[in-house]
Structure 1
Amino acid sequence: MEHLPIFVLQNQGLFSLKYEGEVFDEFRRVFKLWEDPTYLFEFFTENEADLKSWYGGNISIEDAINITIEDSHMLRKNILDVFKSNEKNPKYLNNIFLPFDNETRSSDQGLERCKAKFKKGWLRVYAINVPDDHFVVTGGTIKLTRKMQDREHTNNELIKITNGLDYLKTNKFLDQDALK
């Protein structure tokens, strides 16, 4: 496993983990999947009951694919727009990556688990906030259930977050200077 920079600014930065055997780092990998109609068709077909439950039974697989692709473009744009921000129009990653748990801020040696999402959407990008405001993407998923432990694909993301925390702690990437 290694971490790769997506962009680094003076006061914030975005990195992504790249797991052994993977072609892409996690940031690129999840967005490629979310823009692949074949992958999305297979995913929503396999998880159709969860999809119907999420939308009250009133959504087709084709609509879910279109929504996912559109939301994926917007989520990536929101994240990457931080890199293009300036003093007149500042944008911050900590406004996009919010605490992982809605009720609590979970911290482990100063490292905080975070997620980026749209208010009512099902796409999630998971990251670890390394003080101060340098985020390391650990993965992402389409979350159609309330609890991540309920489905294998979301539970795998919990495992990746834990592995990411372990990687950062083991390699002493506990602050922004250590990441660079």
Structure 2
Amino acid sequence: MTRIIGIAKITEKIYAVQYEKEVEVEDEDEGNDATDIFSELIVLWNDQEYLRNFFNTFKKDYEKFYGHFRLKEVVREARNEAKALFQQLKNCNDTELEELFKPLHNEETSSPFYELQKLKSYGPNYKSYLRIYAIKYDDAFVISGGAIKLTEVMKGRPHLEDELFKMDLAIKYLTEIL
């Protein structure tokens, strides 16, 4: 079960949810470890094995939107785009940050943002499949997760539906705890 245990500061305007993670410990005790989701995504989207497995699993989805599939090139492209996206988020000013995030639902207008609005940010490449999901909170953005999105809608893919769940969980946490 996913549980939020805190919020980590990434920059002056970007925060990231910390989820409780079960970790196995060599001795008899089991422990919990927490890291922020922004840091987890950096590690995950730089992991060649993870990316190879992901794109092999969702090869048909990828080919439907992007055409020909060469695994080595797609993995390299994803890693490079992820690096650029994380740098962009860390280094942008307030105005640029507001331009990077868009409403999750395309039918919503992007400005002005409203409190607890669900948002997404794309990777910098044209037709990017990388997504960072966040919640607008006061004058900041609280990242709740991220995913590789290769389908038109989020429904029907468990890894994307999990991101919808985490956004709702973050809204509930921000409403009740902060």
Whether the aligned pair in 1 keeps the contact of 2:17 and 2:36 (CA below 8 Å) is: yes
Match of 1:161 among 161, 167, 170: 167
Which residue of structure 1 aligns with residue 154 of structure 2?
148
User: For the residues of structure 1 that align with 2:43 and 2:95, how far apart are their CA atoms?
Assistant: 24
Which residue of structure 2 aligns with residue 48 of structure 1?
59
User: For the residues of structure 1 that align with 2:163 and 2:109, how far apart are their CA atoms?
Assistant: 18
Which residue of structure 1 aligns with residue 17 of structure 2?
17
Whether the aligned pair in 2 keeps the contact of 1:19 and 1:25 (CA below 8 Å) is: yes
TM-score relative to the length of structure 1: 0.82
Identity value in percent? 30
Which residue of structure 1 aligns with residue 47 of structure 2?
36
Structure 1 runs of 4+ off > 3 angstroms?
none
Q: Which runs of 5+ in 1 are unaligned?
A: 174-180
What's the CA shift string for 1:87-141, capped at 9, x where partnerless?
Answer: xxx753211111111111599x821111110341000000001122x00000000
What's the CA shift string for 1:5-26, capped at 9, x where partnerless?
Answer: 1111xxxx11000101154211
Which residue identity is paired with 2:141? F
Match of 1:110 among 90, 112, 115: 115
User: For the residues of structure 2 that align with 1:96 and 1:17, how far apart are their CA atoms?
Assistant: 19
Which residue identity is paired with 1:25? D
CA RMSD of aligned residues (A): 2.1
Q: Which runs of 5+ in 2 are unaligned?
A: 22-32
Q: Secondary structure at the match of 1:149?
A: coil
User: For the residues of structure 2 that align with 1:166 and 1:52, how far apart are their CA atoms?
Assistant: 36
User: For the residues of structure 1 that align with 2:145 and 2:77, how far apart are their CA atoms?
Assistant: 20
User: For the residues of structure 2 that align with 1:25 and 1:100, how far apart are their CA atoms?
Assistant: 21
User: For the residues of structure 2 that align with 1:135 and 1:92, how far apart are their CA atoms?
Assistant: 13
Question: 1:30 Cα deviation (Å)?
Answer: 1.2
